[in-house]
Amino acid sequence: MARSKVAIIGGGPAGSVAGLTLRKLGHEVTIYERLSLPRYRIGESLLPGTMSILNRLGLQEKIDAQNYVKKPSATFLWGQDQAPWTFSFAAPKVTPWVFDHAVQVKREDFDRLLLDEARSRGVTVHEDTPVTDVDLSDPDRVVLTVRQGGENVSVESDFVIDAGGSGSLLARKLGVRQYDEFYRNFAIWSYFRLKDPFEGDLKGTTYSITFEDGWVWMIPLKGDLYSVGLVVDRSKSAEVRARGADEFYTSTLAKCARAMGILNGAEQVDEVRIVQDWSYDTSLYSADRFFLCGDAACFTDPLFSQGVHLASQSAVSAAAAIDRITSHGDERDAVHAWYNRTYREAYEQYHQFLASFYTFASFTEPDSEFWRKRRITESDDDRLVRRQWFESLAANGPEASGGTVATFRDRASTMISIGRHQRPDLSDDFSEAELNAARVRWISDLTARLNNISRFRWSGGKAVLKPYYGVEPTGFRLEHREVLANEDGLDLTRYAMDDETRQIFQDLAEEEFGYRTLVKRLGAAGRQEQSTQLVIRLMEAGLLDGYDDNGDKVFIQGRLHFGGVGVEYEV
């Protein structure tokens, strides 16, 4: 089996998960970490998709032994006078690696655990070893300059993964980083001694709470600690300089009555820390012999705790991509195209989600400058001009099946209505079960809309299969798959397709039948369970449009899904 030598910059979650995956795939790996672990990091709230990846990498026992606080959900007090709403991670176990919870971690412990595990599995780890240069000029190898014992040393590898965080050497050197004007915030936070005040279904949840100056996170950690952070506009930094970080933190937090209510006079037990929170992505996620992973590639507002998940997901993908290129050198360009596209789409998903929620909150905080500045109201909003998804949305206009500018608010409203508590205040009486009625009602409405579709129209000529890739969910190898597309190049990459299913859509292109007939035919092809999901995603991708008996277009709004590697969660 072909084997590559891979250098990884950074020993955080992205670097360690990439190292663990590459070792699993049989490659030789060296991690260069600038600092010595443990070292402090923010980003304590994880997502179930990360648990799933770590489980499949064989770390379950190690994670369980840490007794981290179990995180069953995220709870939002989102917008003035809004009832709390919770999105739960409870999910049907359709595969053994679906997790119904995440964990809340102290990153110094968690990152150390991952790096130690990588080392124990044969990854060479150098701590206190900054990488000072990466030379990509040789098409056959990568040359890194690392600083060890006060001396510069050159090391060679076949590939390099930059998982070096926001200070990424490669992103800077290549000039590929693109900042987003829309989310230029900073975060300021500290820790409080507080036993989780809630039992039952709220125990362990992460709170996100809006107030006039921004929003607050509250994360329960092991040892009765609460991480409490404020996300505020960058213009407030002048106030921080004038008044000092402690005074600014205390007085700004005091403006958030609902956070103060949860804290209930708890004692602050740590210093106040600040970090810049500017969203960015990259014009290039990988090429030739390099890959960017985690914060080295992109970062977006931490509202959905997606940081470690994007890091671990991209790390597995980069490792699988390197493995594929190692054994199939002629596919290099196609593999890079896959990595760039899947990573960009994952990032955009969170970004759209954020735009929805910020826009929703802006309408409930009408007097707040912070929220007004973050409202999307116009399709020519120049803060978003660079964003592909927004350009596409604006260009499609109000008749498009993908939605309109108003969809940002509507989508958040839909999700909030599905997760809204039946009582206005947080209380131990909250039960996950009370959300079912709203969810079932939403399902009923969706079903009625789908059943109204008496005619589907397939866009862009014939239904065709086109080659793509997917990561095999247990072995983590990148495998060929075929996906459904039209002749204009629009496609749906989420599902591997076969010719039998393609033929159903080709028949649909010619006969234009309705929803019930379509799901029946998909069922006969062995796709019964995923049929509705498939139809909705084809509509969202612009491949299918549905019409009722009057010839009116039927608008379908699915729930958002957070992806992972071979797993996804609906929100």
Partner 1 sequence: MTERIQSVVVAALDEINASRAEKIPTDDVLGLCLYGDAGVFESMYLVAFLSLLEENIEDEFGAEISLTSEKAVSLRVSPFSSVRRLIGFIEGELELVGVRG
Closest CA to 185 of 305, 78, 297, 276: 276
Position 401 contacts partner 1 (CB under 8 A): no
Q: What are phi and psi of 432, to 5 degrees?
A: -50, -35
Of 113 and 518, nearer to partner 1 (C-beta) is 518
Q: Pick the binder of partner 1 from 448, 489, 499, 551 (CB under 8 A).
A: 448
User: Residue 530: helix, strand or coil by DSSP?
Assistant: coil
Could you give the CA distance from residue 22 to residue 38 in angstroms, rounded to a whole number? 23
Q: Pick one of 519, 540, 553, 555: the residue that binds partner 1 (CB under 8 A).
A: 519
Sole window of 126-134, 161-169, 521-529, 546-554 interacting with partner 1 (rule: CB under 8 A): 521-529
CA distance 478 to 470: 6
Residue 93 or 367 with smaller CB distance to partner 1: 93
The number of residues making up the chain comes to: 571
Neighbours of 95 (CB within 10 A): 11
Give the DSSP H/E element, type plus range, for residue 547: strand 544-547
Q: Does 366 bind partner 1 (CB under 8 A)?
A: no
CB atoms within 10 A of CB 245: 15
d(CA 88, CA 571): 8
Give residues with Cβ within 8 angstroms of 540, minimum separation 6.
401, 402, 556, 558
Residue 303 beta carbon to partner 1: minimum distance, rounded to whole angstroms: 23
Q: Which of 168, 359, 532, 557 binds partner 1 (CB under 8 A)?
A: 532
Q: What's the burial of 57, exposed, middle or buried (CB within 10 Å: 0-12/13-18/19+)? A: buried
Closest contact distance (angstroms) between CB of 96 and partner 1 is 6
- Binding span for partner 1 by CB under 8 A among 114-122, 170-178, 274-282, 442-450: 442-450
Task: Tell me whether residue 246 or residue 570 sits nearer to partner 1 (CB atom).
Answer: 570
Q: Does 446 bind partner 1 (CB under 8 A)?
A: yes
What are the structure tokens assigned to 183, written together?
């989310």
Given 2, 153, 269, 443, the residue binding partner 1 (CB under 8 A):
443
DSSP string covering 111-142:
HHHHHHHHHHTT-EEESS--EEEEE--STT-E
> According to CB under 8 A, which one of 167, 520, 549, 552 is a site residue for partner 1?
520
3-class SS of residue 292: strand
Helix H or strand E segment including 545: strand 544-547
Among 466, 523, 549, 552, the residue binding partner 1 under the rule CB under 8 A is 523
> Of the ranges 371-379, 429-437, 476-484, 492-500, which one interacts with partner 1 (CB under 8 A)?
429-437
Our finding on whether 417 is near partner 1 (CB under 8 A) is no
Is residue 531 involved in binding partner 1 (CB under 8 A)? Answer: yes
Task: Tell which one of 372, 423, 441, 457 touches partner 1 (CB under 8 A).
Answer: 441
**Residue 456 C-beta: closest distance to partner 1, Å:** 15
Cα-Cα-Cα-Cα dihedral sign, residues 164, 170, 171, 172 = positive
Our finding on whether 447 is near partner 1 (CB under 8 A) is yes
Please report whether residue 2 would count as binding partner 1 according to CB under 8 A: no
Distance CA 404, CA 410 (A): 10
* Distance of closest approach, residue 441 Cβ to partner 1, in angstroms: 5
Q: State the DSSP code for 94.
A: S
Sign of CA dihedral 16, 21, 24, 30: negative
**Residue 261 binds partner 1 (CB under 8 A):** no
Our CB check for partner 1 shows the closer of 262 and 415 to be: 415
Please state, in angstroms and rounded to a whole number, the distance separating the CA atoms of residues 541 and 524: 24
Nearer to partner 1, 442 or 547 (CB): 442
Report, in Å, the least distance between residue 561 CB and partner 1. Answer: 9
Distance CA 30, CA 14 (A): 14
Assess 570 for contact with partner 1 (CB under 8 A). Answer: yes
- Nearest alpha-carbon partner for 189 in 232, 242, 243, 223: 232
CA distance linking residue 498 with residue 486, whole number of Å: 14
Which span (38-46, 124-132, 172-180, 518-526) binds partner 1, by CB under 8 A? 518-526
Taking residues 55 to 94 in sequence order and writing x for each that binds partner 1 by CB under 8 A, - otherwise, the string is ---------------------------------x-xxxxx
Q: Is 154 left (phi over 0), alpha (psi -120 to 50) or beta?
A: beta
What Å distances lie between residue 549 and 455, 514, 536, 538, 546, CA to CA? Answer: 8, 10, 19, 21, 10
Applying CB under 8 A, among 82, 124, 404, 530 the residue interacting with partner 1 is 530
Q: Is 96 in the site for partner 1 (CB under 8 A)?
A: yes
Q: How near is the Cβ of 530 to partner 1 at its closest, in Å?
A: 7
CB of 203 to partner 1, least distance (A): 15
User: Closest distance between partner 1 and the C-beta of residue 528, in Å?
Assistant: 6
Question: Where do the H-state alpha helices sit in 291-404?
Answer: 307-327, 332-364, 369-373, 388-396
Residue 527 within binding range of partner 1, rule CB under 8 A: yes
Closest CB 531 distance from partner 1, rounded Å: 5
Nearer to partner 1, 200 or 398 (CB): 200
Exactly one of 244, 516, 549, 552 binds partner 1 (CB under 8 A); that residue is 516
Span near partner 1 by CB under 8 A; candidates 23-31, 276-284, 287-295, 516-524: 516-524
- As measured in angstroms, the least distance from the Cβ of 219 to partner 1 is 23
Q: Which listed residue (36, 60, 67, 95) binds partner 1 by CB under 8 A?
A: 95
CA distance 47 to 139: 38
Least Å distance, CB 215 to partner 1, is 27
> Which of 410, 312, 400, 267 has its CA nearest to residue 352?
410
Q: Which is nearer to partner 1, 480 or 516 (CB)?
A: 516
Binding site for partner 1 (CB under 8 A): 88, 90-96, 432-433, 436-437, 439-444, 446-448, 450, 516, 519-520, 523, 526-533, 536, 558-559, 570
